[in-house]
Amino acid sequence: MQLKVLFDEETVRRKIKDMAKQIENYYRGKTESLCAICILKGSVHFFSELVLNINMNVNYSFVHVSSYAGTESTGRIRVKSWVDETLQGKYVLVVEDIVDTGNTLRYILSYLRKYKPADLKIAALIEKEKYQHGIPIDFVGFKVGDVFLVGYGLDYEERYRNLPYIGYLE
């Protein structure tokens, strides 16, 4: 397999700054505080860059779930850690690296809604257009076709996460 660059580091960072401004504009006048939930592991770089560029009071939370083995979704969601604070009445932004089939995100959203947040929005760095996942994503960085991506938190068998750009395996 050969690694190719799809979005270079500058393009990724510029897109994330644009997304942060969109998020600020959405929440302006609604709230001063935001609870941002990072979906680990893949979203860690995106999450960090995004919240650094949001000019609001941002509280951090993390969930760790997985459904992949190699390049394919297993279809089973494994929860490794979950939100440890109350979300009732809060403005919640779920930060996801990539939305593919939507199964993991759908699972997370159904549980978060049980906490009765005042508002629940989704920011995804990448949305794959291969599947009709049916989840409205409020803030999207890039839309891509059917390609297996790595870098900027995305991995292939735990490799390539630390690349400062988004690439694909040919």
Catalytic residues: 100
Distance, in Å, from the CA atom of 154 to the CA atom of 163, rounded to the nearest integer, reads 9
Name the phi and psi angles at 11, rounded to 5: -65, -45
From 37, 10, 12, 30, select the one nearest 115 (Cα to Cα): 37
C-alpha span between 72 and 20 (Å, rounded)? 30
In sequence order, what are the residues at sequence separation of 6 or more whose Cβ sits closer than 8 angstroms to the Cβ of residue 98?
A: 42, 124, 125, 126, 127, 128, 149, 154
β-pair type (149-150, 166-169): antiparallel
Query: Does residue 40 contact residue 94 with C-beta atoms inside 8 Å?
Result: no
